[in-house]
């Protein structure tokens, strides 16, 4: 059975992550492992967390009090983490998932270590675009999103703020390896062939991926999709963002990392800006 890992932190994106995970799990006949990660700073009961800056001559009672605060903070973080996971499990089951197909895990590690531990046994990672500490006014991406995308070789599904069923999806195609991975992945999802597929490529500076776009379109048609395709002009980030906004799409598939501007996620500002402003989920491939 395929397996999804859903990363939640109790932020407002947690419900959207669960909704999107359940939608894919039901279509893929997959199980879900919901994971909440407590970083070492959150769970350490080492007195140095708060009392490490106390200099010579500090009273022993103060050191003991600060150490106790550290310990209480770690216990509360654990209790909060378990409550978040239990709520998520109940939410998924109430939404139609079988209880036996939903597992919850509280991990005491860093996010990259957690992904490495799970990666061999999973097929898809689902995470919110922003975490509980993100600045919504400045449209910051969650720091864990970057770490997960950088560290994982599995597809990463980035949940938007709210969920809606997928009726039309868009593939941003630039002819690179990761873009072909997106096409190949979608072509294998025979349970999604009732969803409309639109492929686009961005032509500019004397370059064109029209021939590759045609091959990709044929691959999707052979897989049973209703397919349309289009060559856009202009800068990749603005052209793709405009297409997403105008086309009433429910999901964007694209490559992450690479030498082209379309795939230059996180490292540069081009695609990062598009991900920030994109109001639909994004499925990323490396």
Cα atoms in the Cβ-side hemisphere of radius 13 Å centred on 19 = 15
Q: Which range marks the domain in which residue 263 is found?
A: 164-285
In a domain, 70, yes or no: no
- What is the distance between the alpha carbons of residues 247 and 166, in angstroms, rounded to a whole number? 13
Instruction: Kindly give the pairing relationship between strand 196-203 and strand 124-128.
Output: unpaired
On average, the pLDDT of the chain sits at 83
Q: Is 139 found in the same domain as 187?
A: no
Do both 204 and 245 map to the same domain? yes
Say if residue 242 is in the same domain as residue 149: no
Q: Do 15 and 86 sit in the same domain of this protein?
A: yes
Q: How far apart are CA 147 and CA 261, in angstroms?
A: 20
Lowest mean pLDDT among 3-7, 8-12, 231-235, 256-260: 256-260
Residue 147 pLDDT class (50, 70, 90 cuts): confident
pLDDT of residue 248: 86
| Residue 128 shares a structural domain with residue 179 | no
Whether residue 83 is contained in a domain is answered as yes
Domain boundary among 106, 134, 158: 158
Which residue, of 110, 128, 158, is where some domain finishes? 158
Same domain flag for 111 and 228? no
In a domain, 47, yes or no: no
Domain with residue 204: its CATH number is 3.40.50.620
pTM of the model: 0.84
Are residues 180 and 107 located together in one domain of the fold? no
Note the pLDDT of residue 202. Answer: 87
| Residue 59 domain flag | no
Percentage above 90 pLDDT, the chain: 50
What total of structural domains would you count in the chain?
2
State the pLDDT confidence band at 264, using cuts at 50, 70 and 90.
very low
Of 134, 132, 141, the C-alpha closest to 80 is: 132
Judge whether 124 lies within some domain.
yes
Q: What three-state secondary structure class fits 51?
A: helix
Mean pLDDT of 114-139: 77
Question: Can you tell me the mean pLDDT for 269-281?
Answer: 69
- Is 94 in the same domain as 236? no
HEC profile for 73-109?
HHHHHHHHHHHHHHHHHHHHHHCCCCHHHEEEEEEEC
Q: Which of 196, 141, 144, 134 is nearest to 165 (CA)?
A: 196
46 in a structural domain = no
The domain boundary residue, chosen from 158, 175, 197: 158
Q: Extract the runs of DSSP E, i.e. beta strands, from 148-259.
A: 156-159, 168-172, 196-203, 227-233, 251-255
Q: What is the mean pLDDT of residues 207-222?
A: 89
Is there a single domain that holds both residue 249 and residue 177?
yes
Same domain? For 168 and 248 the reply is yes
Residues 132 and 217 both lie in one domain:
no
Note whether 10 and 90 are same-domain residues.
Answer: yes
In this structure, is residue 60 part of a structural domain?
A: no
Write the DSSP string, 4-24: EEEE--SSTTHHHHHHHHHHH
Band of the pLDDT at 261, cuts 50, 70, 90? very low
Q: For the residues 85-105, what does the mean pLDDT come to?
A: 97
Q: Per the domain annotation, does 73 fall within a domain?
A: no
């Amino acid at each position: 059975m395929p397996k999804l890992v859903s990363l939640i932190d109790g932020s407002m994106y947690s419900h959207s992550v669960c909704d999107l995970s359940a939608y894919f799990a039901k279509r893929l006949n997959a199980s879900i492992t919901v994971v909440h990660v407590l970083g070492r700073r959150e769970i350490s009961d080492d007195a140095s967390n708060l009392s490490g800056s106390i200099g010579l001559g500090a009273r022993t009672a103060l050191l003991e009090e600060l150490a106790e605060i550290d310990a209480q903070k770690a216990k509360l973080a654990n209790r909060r983490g378990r409550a978040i996971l239990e709520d998520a499990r109940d939410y998924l089951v109430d939404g139609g998932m079988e209880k036996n197909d939903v597992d919850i895990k509280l991990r005491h590690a860093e996010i990259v270590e957690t992904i490495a531990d799970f990666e061999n046994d999973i097929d898809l990672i689902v995470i919110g675009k922003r975490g509980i500490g993100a600045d919504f006014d400045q449209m910051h991406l969650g720091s864990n999103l970057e770490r997960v995308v950088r560290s994982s070789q599995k597809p990463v599904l980035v949940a938007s703020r709210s969920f809606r069923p997928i009726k039309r999806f868009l593939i941003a195609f630039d002819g690179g390896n990761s873009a072909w991975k997106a096409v190949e992945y979608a072509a294998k999802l025979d349970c999604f062939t009732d969803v409309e597929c639109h492929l686009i490529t961005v032509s500019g500076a004397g370059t064109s991926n029209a021939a590759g776009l045609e091959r990709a379109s044929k691959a999707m048609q052979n897989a049973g999709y209703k397919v349309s395709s289009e060559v856009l002009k202009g800068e990749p980030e603005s052209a793709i963002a405009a297409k997403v906004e105008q086309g009433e799409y429910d999901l964007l598939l694209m490559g992450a990392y690479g030498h082209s501007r379309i795939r230059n996620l996180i490292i540069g500002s081009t695609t990062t800006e598009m991900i920030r402003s994109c109001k639909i989920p994004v499925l990323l491939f490396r």
